[in-house]
Chain A
Amino acid sequence: MNSLLLIFIPFAGALLAAAWPSDRTRPWLLPIVGLAHTVIVLCLMVSPQAVDPASWIAFDPLARAVLPAVSILFLCCAVYGVYYLRLRPERPNRVFVSMLLTVLGLLSAGHQSRHLGLLWMSTEAVTLASVPLIHFNGTPRAFEATWKYLLVGGTGIALSLLGSFCLGYASLRGGGSGDLTFTALMSQGSRLSQPWVLTAWVLLLIGYGTKMGLAPMHTWKPDTYGEAPGIVGAMLAGGVTTVAFTAILRVHAVLVASGNGLIADRTLIGLGLLSMFVAALFLLGTRDFKRMLAYSSVEQMGVLSIGAGLGGAGLWAALFHVWSNSLTKGSLFLSAGNIRRAAGARTTDEVSGMSTLTPRSALLFVTGMFAITACPPFGPFFSELLIVRTGFASGHAVASGLFLGCLFLAFIGLTRLVFAIVDGRPRAESRAAGKRFPETAGMILPSVVLLALSLWLGLFTPEILRHAWSAAVSQLFPSS
């Protein structure tokens, strides 16, 4: 099975969607392409193939460890998308459907990129392709959010290009050929020019950190997630951020190989803790439940970053957390979208009592909230527990303590807001809007499936995934 199909099938689907005449039937292309993508990814995961070290693009162990999660998330979002777009007959969906498919293709390209330049191009293209998705609602607020997304994201991604060039120059200055494949950079190791490697690390961390949404580069996230439709939020939080995370992981591996592992680890842990702390503070203050999801995502990115900074075992836990975060966050975004539509508003000032208006979505939302705040027995509990244990075992007691403190603050913030939305008596305006958007199976099941997968991941982490994560760790740290 050729891994390039993962890129070309979505692109072909996008072209087909652009040419498809009917707005009513076009959304079905989403689950069809999504299903094909998931089937291919799972086949590739079950029977991994040897990777040519010099190849620019390949389904290597790191892609194998992360891309299936993105694919499953996309499939669930795609099914939801069919029913979501049916509720929005007034807006043409040609651009939306084809761009969503393009994003899937580019995400597959980004996860499989083993060349710094190619990785940059895919990330930049994902940023641009998701622009029409964010302003799908066409409100002034949506355009404001899109502008901030473009400006902050564009600047960040530009800095990561500068960082990529610096890393290339580090190779040239160190007597190498300037080959930007990660394999070549890692094999050059300590012969890379040190000042340039460190400059590159700062720039790449800021650049891809912006895309990931680490504090203090997270400012685009609340606006974008708040204004974009639920499925777009789910794909951004569970798909686009993971590409940026794997980019940071690949660069981090180069840093470790060049002998700067300690500095890189410390910066990752520091930024991760800052992200968790900032997110926890905002979670305690915000009154908008879609923005709440954005801050929660900033927090999860902090968790990933800390995991990656803890070395081999921490990295394994971080890859586990990529899965649990993508699946749980996806479920939360979809159920939050249902609640938002039925309530007609997003803040605790205007919304309450949603458990009577949208009982199923409210139940999913509450369950998802407990899952993402690391309550057992869902996936995030086990992955975060593993990160904390690794932290204490590797002598990062203070960092682990702060990690737990931030998780606790975030838990208080999230429960406060979620129960304010769900409990109480519904507002009169919401009662009218709720009647227009009944809860259909197509809007509930994708969220249920994602949550069930998160539960399954926590209780019975499949052996094949454990192997995939271990293989990815040994790809990134070949010596250990």
Chain B
Amino acid sequence: MNETLNLLVGMAMGLNLLALGSGRLPTLIRTVALQGMTLGIMPLLIEPRFEWPVVLVSFATVVGKGWIIPSLLRRAMRTANIDREIEPFIGFVPSLLLGAGGTIAAVALSRALPLLPEHAGSMLVPGALASVLTGFVLLIGRTKAISQVCGYLILENGIYLFGLLLIQATPLLVDAGILLDVTVGVFVIGIIVDRIQRAFDSLDTRKLTVLRE
């Protein structure tokens, strides 16, 4: 069970690098969706018994992260009719190097944090830290609003990975609430993206420079 889980975490970490290297918005959105679905399956692997609430959260995650959120983003992209190429602040090669360095640092850092015996050998902590770092690189290093939202989603995915360590301890109500919050959050972001597009006729956040000291 642990091996399968680690395989999936490794896949999510690979998808991080793919997200950092992708030069087109649809690819980036698809990568984030795939990562979300990978994450959604994990609770089923961790919880050994078949329990309805876990299945429900797992299903909701797969649908939410894999289908609802990406289709919201795609719709925003279509209505905004934006150029599909991603223009980076931080180039693709430097982003990839940062991502790879971050992944190595995450593995090293997680050695310093003591784990429970049943989590020993699990890749969840390094996977979580690497995803959080990847999310930050995308948030800082991309200029289009939608690619920044994708960065935010990868950051959230990292936190979700970490949350899996606690899945047996925290009531699922909390997990469900968190998932709901994230979905509503992306929905609200989608609306704002739409308004920014109408107000500025662009989704290039470099144009949002009126407010500064």
Q: Which residues of A contact B (CB under 8 A)?
A: 117-118, 120-121, 124-125, 128, 131, 135, 139-141, 143-148, 150-151, 154-155, 158, 161-162, 165-166, 168-169, 171-173, 177-180, 193, 195-196, 199, 222-223, 226-227, 282, 285-286, 291
What are the 9 A-B residue pairs with the smallest beta carbon separation, nearest first? A178-B169, A117-B174, A140-B199, A223-B211, A144-B208, A121-B177, A124-B181, A162-B159, A168-B166
**Docked complex: B179-213 residues within 8 A CB-CB of A:** 181, 184-185, 188-189, 192, 195-196, 199-200, 205, 208, 210-211, 213
Minimal beta-carbon separation of A413 from chain B (angstroms): 13
Interface assignment of B116: CB less than 8 Å from any CB of chain A: yes
Q: How far is the CA of A120 from the CA of B148 in the complex (A)?
A: 23
* CB-CB nearest in chain B for A223: B211
> B113, A199: Cβ atoms under 8 Å?
yes
Minimal beta-carbon separation of A210 from chain B (angstroms): 13
- B152 partner, pick from A117, A151, A196, beta carbons under 8 A: A151
Residues in A whose Cβ lies below 8 Å from that of B19: none
> A180, B174: Cβ atoms under 8 Å?
yes
The verdict on A121 contacting B181 (CB below 8 Å), with A155-B139, A165-B163, A223-B211 known, is yes
On chain B, the number of residues with a Cβ less than 8 Å from chain A's Cβ atoms is: 41
* CB-CB nearest in chain B for A161: B159
The prevalent SS among residues of B at the interface is helix
Residues in A whose Cβ lies below 8 Å from that of B114: 173, 193, 195-196
Between-chain CB contacts (< 8 Å), 18 pairs = A117-B170, A118-B177, A121-B181, A128-B188, A140-B199, A140-B210, A144-B196, A144-B208, A147-B192, A147-B205, A150-B192, A151-B148, A161-B163, A161-B178, A162-B128, A168-B170, A196-B113, A282-B213
The verdict on A165 contacting B166 (CB below 8 Å), with A140-B199, A155-B139 known, is yes
Q: How far is the CA of A177 from the CA of B114 in the complex (A)?
A: 17
Interface membership of chain B positions 122-162, coded 1 if the CB is closer than 8 angstroms to chain A and 0 otherwise: 00000010001000100100000100100010011011001
> B213, A147: Cβ atoms under 8 Å?
no
* CB-CB nearest in chain A for B194: A143
> A172, B211: Cβ atoms under 8 Å?
no
> B145, A178: Cβ atoms under 8 Å?
no
Residues in A whose Cβ lies below 8 Å from that of B115: 173
> A155, B155: Cβ atoms under 8 Å?
yes
Residues in B whose Cβ lies below 8 Å from that of A144: 196, 200, 208, 210-211
The verdict on A158 contacting B169 (CB below 8 Å), with A147-B196, A151-B148, A165-B163 known, is no
Residues in A whose Cβ lies below 8 Å from that of B148: 151
* CB-CB nearest in chain A for B180: A121
Most buried by A among B115, B170, B195, B205: B170
The verdict on A169 contacting B174 (CB below 8 Å), with A155-B155, A161-B159, A162-B132 known, is no
Q: How far is the CA of A180 from the CA of B173 in the complex (A)?
A: 13
* CB-CB nearest in chain B for A151: B148
Q: How far is the CA of A128 from the CA of B180 in the complex (A)?
A: 12
> B188, A165: Cβ atoms under 8 Å?
no
Interface assignment of B41: CB less than 8 Å from any CB of chain A: no
Residues in B whose Cβ lies below 8 Å from that of A291: 213
Having A151-B139, A158-B156, one finds 8 other A-B pairs with CB under 8 Å, namely A146-B195, A158-B159, A165-B163, A169-B166, A172-B165, A172-B166, A226-B211, A291-B213
* CB-CB nearest in chain B for A121: B177
Residues in B whose Cβ lies below 8 Å from that of A227: 211
* CB-CB nearest in chain B for A131: B188
- A165 partner, pick from B139, B156, B162, B208, beta carbons under 8 A: B162
Minimal beta-carbon separation of A200 from chain B (angstroms): 11
Q: How far is the CA of A128 from the CA of B188 in the complex (A)?
A: 7
Interface assignment of B93: CB less than 8 Å from any CB of chain A: no
- A135 partner, pick from B156, B178, B192, B200, beta carbons under 8 A: B192
Q: How far is the CA of A286 from the CA of B213 in the complex (A)?
A: 7
Minimal beta-carbon separation of A283 from chain B (angstroms): 11
